Chains A and B, each alone.
Chain A
Amino acid sequence: MMKTSTKLLSRIYIWLILIILYAPIVFIAVFSFTEAKSLGNWTGFSMNLYKNLFTGSMQNSSALLSAVENTLLIALIASLLATMLGTVAAIGIYNMKGRAKNVMTFLNNIPMINPDIITGVSLFLLFVFLRISQGYTTVILAHITFCTPYVVLNVLPKLSQMNPNIYEAALDLGATPGQALRKVMIPALRPGMISGFILSFTMSLDDFAVTFFTRGTIGLDTLSTYIYADARKGGLTPELKPLMTILFLIILVVLLVINIRQSKNNDKK
């Protein structure tokens, strides 16, 4: 048994870190309820920023809203495609042997080891080299590039847990390869695919550097690049504060629900 003093100390430690970790987020949330332009300037309680956000009655509201839309759309498309590509790739890699498998694993690891800026710069040079004009498509391709390895990594362990005979049994019983894939493989791999998808989605949402280098000059903004440009101009759009607060609450609820359900499932087992 642990001593009570150790318990108390470790509890204090954990909460101290959590308080520091959440201070800026709470800070944003608190100051979303006032009207002042700059962060940290309290001019009395007001819900106006929320009202502006929902009615769209603010300066360059269309730019902010389209940035939000782009962020979500890019994350959704990129992570869906990355999940499909990554699952197929994982099945392929799993069935490889020896040298080929090592080479593929090595190549798959590169995007995960590379810092964002290297991925961004290298893809920027690729699109320049291939004379592809940069915009929506290049950003999505770039996001697929850095997301797919994580899907592969999440699906591979599910493949090794799976009984390989089931797939062949399905074929023996007359299923077409397509049917066997849909009815046997996919259900077995689903947990890995889902966690790969969630990981891809969140990484794509949070990405700044890769988007920054691959979005070209057509004025495409995601939330990250919007905030960056905004901050450099000096003076954030004040409506970002309520937006961030709402996003935070949504994420908080979703994550807590997922985890409570997960731990219930674990208890049942």
Chain B
Amino acid sequence: MPYFIFLVIFVVLPLLLILIYALQDGAGHFTLKNIAKFFSDGDSLSTFALSIEVAIENTALCILIGYPAAWILANKDLNRSAVTVVLFILPMWINALMRTLATAELFTMAGIQLGKGTLLFGMCYDYLPFMIYPIYNVLNKMDKSYAEAAQDLGATPGEVFRKVTLPLSMPGIMSGVMMVFMPTVSTFAISEFLTNNKIKLFGTIIQENINNSMWNYGAALSLIMLIIIGITTFLQGGDSEEAVSGGAI
């Protein structure tokens, strides 16, 4: 099957190469030095911790802002037009770097110092559609009769939401988290623009190492990231693609 061969060459082999390069020194000998270097390098470690922190905050922010929006969009009483939904995903079609630059410029114009606050705002701005869309999809396809039944059986609106709607929309939230969390850890250009290079995220140091021909250390950093992706995917159970695949537009 040709696609199998394609996937092996362009997906499996490259990932194996990350592992191989991570465990080699410049001359091609086996070594654990690259991994050890990461754990003994204060800069890398603090960048890593900061990236995870920003990613967690950004993901939480996206859920807090995005969930109500998705809920309103999916509610037939509150929103009857499909155009509003299109308006929410439309910014994704504009070059992300250009939008980010404009956001940073807006902050500067408003006299707000570029730093962690602007970083979070800008990240949230960039990734919000990726959170809203899967949640909206799940809520939209959800069988409304469950919520109605709970209501008939005497649940208050708050209870209906907590015990029926929210649990049923978990797959949407999970795939939203997938689409926001890891990309936040790994962005490089966006964080550079939004903080005027003051704050480095993990993606930036991977990029710097690879571009300065320090492939082995760059690969080691990528490997650490891969391990985290593996862990989050495993925790999440991996059946999130249903929410994403529900139509492209």
Contact = CB atoms under 8 A, between A and B. Distances in A.
Interface of A: 1-2, 6-7, 10-11, 13-14, 17-18, 20-25, 27-28, 38-40, 85, 88-89, 92-93, 104, 107-119, 121-126, 128-129, 141-142, 144-145, 148, 150, 153-154, 157, 195-196, 198-199, 202, 205-206, 208-209, 212-213, 223-224, 227-228, 231, 236, 240, 244, 247-248, 251-252, 255-256, 258-260, 262-263
A109 B17 contact: no
Interface in B226-249: 226, 229, 233, 238, 241, 244-245, 247-249
A252 B11 contact: no
A240 B14 CA distance: 35
Contact of B13 (A104, A126, A195, A251): A126
B102 A25 contact: yes
Contacts of A24: 99-100, 102-103, 105-106, 125
Given A14-B84, A25-B94, A256-B83, A126 B17 contact: yes
B88 A117 contact: no
Q: Using C-beta atoms within 8 Å of the partner chain, give the interface range for chain B.
A: 35 or more
Contacts of B98: 28, 227, 240, 244
A251 B103 CA distance: 20
A10 B78 CA distance: 7
B189 A228 contact: yes
B63 interface: no
27 contacts: A7-B78, A17-B65, A23-B106, A24-B106, A104-B4, A107-B11, A109-B238, A110-B7, A110-B11, A115-B183, A115-B186, A116-B186, A118-B229, A121-B18, A121-B210, A122-B15, A122-B18, A129-B17, A148-B3, A153-B244, A198-B249, A208-B97, A223-B95, A224-B95, A227-B101, A247-B94, A259-B249
B48 interface: no
Interface string B1-31: 1111011111111110110010000000000
Chain A to chain B: the 3 pairs with minimum beta-carbon distance, closest first: A122-B14, A89-B3, A24-B102
Given A14-B84, A122-B222, A244 B94 contact: yes
B109 A40 contact: yes
B1 A92 contact: yes
Given A93-B3, A227-B95, 13 more contacts: A2-B77, A7-B78, A23-B106, A92-B1, A104-B4, A107-B12, A117-B186, A117-B207, A117-B222, A118-B225, A202-B92, A227-B97, A259-B86
B72 A88 contact: no
Main SS at interface, chain B: helix
B106 A259 contact: no
Nearest to B97: A227
A248 B69 contact: no
A125 B186 contact: no
B206 interface: yes
Contacts of A117: 186-188, 203, 206-207, 222, 225
Interface string B123-156: 0010011000000000000000000000000000
Interface string B153-193: 00000000000000000000000001000110111110001
A8 B109 CA distance: 32
A224 B97 contact: yes
A248 B95 CA distance: 9
B105 A121 contact: no
B188 A198 contact: no
Interface in B183-225: 183, 185-189, 193, 203, 206-207, 210, 215, 218-219, 222, 225
